[in-house]
Structure 1
């Protein structure tokens, strides 16, 4: 048996911690020996996948002995028509997570700097550390708002990439269009902005932008989108990016040839056309979000108004204890400790029934804590 520790991983891995996803339903069911589990931890669509996507995937199953279209030509054509951009400006990927890694592999050298407003999605840090780059965290404001001046002030000669998640995960806050314009106009031309719009379909504020207009205007910006949220296709992993053609061409040099599987491509094409499912998803999210706001207020809990399909709720010093007690009762939330927010939990908006069960359990748990 080999015991000598001569095979060493890259030094960059010393800064990387594996991503910690929310517990899957089956695992909680097995641990607790219960049938009903309510998962409000991963910001998934509580209505399920687009029915049209399911139909398209089912119709494609007999073709899975063939490799998928490496260029995802039909999907890019449909996305281009949907967003009014050129096909050459689109890069489909195995979820937006893969695109974050590909961007890092394409543009980052060891010693480069990446600016990440904090708290935000942990995969931005992962991609940077993977390439030996330094992550510069710029704290959000006291109400978790973006501070454009602080971001610009953090830029140095080594800055290569700035990440903007809007609406931001886990806070639900967003960067208004005017401030995004200000940021882009204030940056050196060599700095690339990654605008993660995974939750853009839920944003309703008049001042919100999904970033695509700035791609059209020729700014060095990559807009990330996913089919995991509003379209309900998280399980088949598909997302895409939109940017200037020359930026996309550079990323294609590091992309695996068959990174998006056939079923994902077919499902995504169908989901884009399923307006009924999109509208229903937006409606149930809006109604559920407003209902939860009122319920949290009645419980005396502070929350952050969200432009997304989740709400960041301040429980207090006992937040982890409340999270664990709800988990023991079959309700999965996301504890905020991983973001440096130990007093908070992030709660995905569920169905009306799920939301009601959640509030009932939080209420009884908090009463027992007193």
Structure 2
């Protein structure tokens, strides 16, 4: 059988080594994973409490309409229930968008570097990907992205905060982009790290939905809510967009347990506020440490920092790996001589500082 030719040019997602494997290889008692931007504080205790009292009936298909979560989320966001679509993380929604709007001969516009799945799924659907480099500070160059749009452009991917830098699109720049983007282009705005954004940096993108029916906003329960293992995210858009996405969406694409956990987690905003405050304190402390050793880093409104390394990021990654810390080398993200570090607990970050300082003194000072 013959598969799509483009698949021979792409590779499956390859996860890193598992904790047990690393422990055995380097004789370590403990591994600190700081590579996937997960919430180190877990998830709401209310989720565990409710689920322990009674699990969903796993022999019964889940609610394909996601009714309870849909109702609660629509109320919280002040949107219509018909403006919501749910997926197995925002990644599935990205896949839905590509399947819905892209055909051979069409194209998309995206920043680079950014979340790699925009490009991956666009190519699978036969679209061309026009990549526009971020500026020197890691921000989307929205003017050049506008210039890259033509009559065949179907989607523009915007990631704010952008992974892997952590930068957010400024409000005035976004307003100008929104007003100048052709109406035949869908603006896909990915806010996976929305809950970590400082209030003054929040551009309130949902407020533009009523006036721009070519905009979709994507968010997730995987990051701040700590439900990455359950895979549930959502999109908010004009009803016409949601209707088309529901045609391509699998009928039971989010599980009963994911829906229930997300509903409980949504109600516990105290946990979100606590995660936000702890993350902010750890981030400020780690930024001061990087300043002290003279390592530059990108501005970030997330739970991770992309730091410039004095030598190959892959070498720094290996040094840390052998000492029990898993980070993400920038060479895998398209930014050589950097590492992306997820922000862990205060205890873990203090230990990481000690290890990084030792590396700095060994490799740089000496």
Instruction: Give the TM-score taking structure 2 as reference length.
Output: 0.96
1:329 aligns with 2:334: no
SS of residue in 1 equivalent to 2:200: coil
1:126 aligns with 2:120: yes
Detail structure 1 runs of 4+ shifted over 6 Å in the superposition.
none
Structure 2 residue aligned with 1:234 = 228
Choose from 100, 104, 108 the match for 2:98.
Answer: 104
Structure 2 residue aligned with 1:275 = 269
1:220 aligns with 2:214: yes
Whether the aligned pair in 2 keeps the contact of 1:197 and 1:210 (CA below 8 Å) is: no
For 1:130-169, what aligned pairs fall within 5 Å after superposition? 130-169=124-163
Q: Distance in 1 between matches of 2:96 and 2:56?
A: 31
Q: CA RMSD in A?
A: 1.4
Choose from 310, 313, 338 the match for 2:304.
Answer: 310
Instruction: Give the TM-score taking structure 1 as reference length.
Output: 0.95
Choose from 297, 303, 314 the match for 1:320.
Answer: 314
In the TM superposition, what whole-angstrom CA distance separates every residue of 1:17-63 from its partner, at most 9, and x where no partner exists? 22234444344334334331101111000101111122233344252
Tell me by how many angstroms 1:184 deviates.
Answer: 1.3
Structure 2 residue aligned with 1:285 = 279
Structure 2 residue aligned with 1:301 = 295
Whether the aligned pair in 2 keeps the contact of 1:202 and 1:308 (CA below 8 Å) is: yes
Whether the aligned pair in 1 keeps the contact of 2:28 and 2:324 (CA below 8 Å) is: yes
Whether the aligned pair in 2 keeps the contact of 1:23 and 1:332 (CA below 8 Å) is: no
Choose from 49, 69, 75 the match for 1:75.
Answer: 69
SS of residue in 2 equivalent to 1:257: coil
Pair 169,218 (structure 1): closer, same or farther in 2 beyond 3 Å: same
Q: Distance in 2 between matches of 1:33 and 1:98?
A: 38
Q: Distance in 2 between matches of 1:62 and 1:208?
A: 36
What are structure 1's unaligned runs of at least 5 residues?
A: 1-6
SS of residue in 1 equivalent to 2:248: coil
For 1:22-61, what aligned pairs fall within 5 Å after superposition? 22-61=16-55
Q: Distance in 1 between matches of 2:50 and 2:203?
A: 31
Q: Distance in 2 between matches of 1:89 and 1:366?
A: 50
Pair 23,216 (structure 1): closer, same or farther in 2 beyond 3 Å: farther
Q: Distance in 1 between matches of 2:64 and 2:243?
A: 14
Q: Distance in 2 between matches of 1:210 and 1:33?
A: 48
Pair 308,62 (structure 1): closer, same or farther in 2 beyond 3 Å: closer
Q: Distance in 2 between matches of 1:299 and 1:342?
A: 19
Q: Distance in 2 between matches of 1:210 and 1:164?
A: 14
Q: Distance in 2 between matches of 1:368 and 1:161?
A: 47
In the TM superposition, what whole-angstrom CA distance separates every residue of 1:185-227 from its partner, at most 9, and x where no partner exists? 1111110010000001111152422521111333311100000
Q: Distance in 1 between matches of 2:206 and 2:326?
A: 34
Q: Distance in 1 between matches of 2:268 and 2:21?
A: 32
SS of residue in 1 equivalent to 2:154: strand
Aligned positions, number: 364
SS of residue in 2 equivalent to 1:194: strand
Structure 1 residue aligned with 2:11 = 17
Whether the aligned pair in 2 keeps the contact of 1:19 and 1:122 (CA below 8 Å) is: no
Pair 163,210 (structure 1): closer, same or farther in 2 beyond 3 Å: farther
Q: Distance in 2 between matches of 1:263 and 1:17?
A: 31
Pair 124,210 (structure 1): closer, same or farther in 2 beyond 3 Å: farther
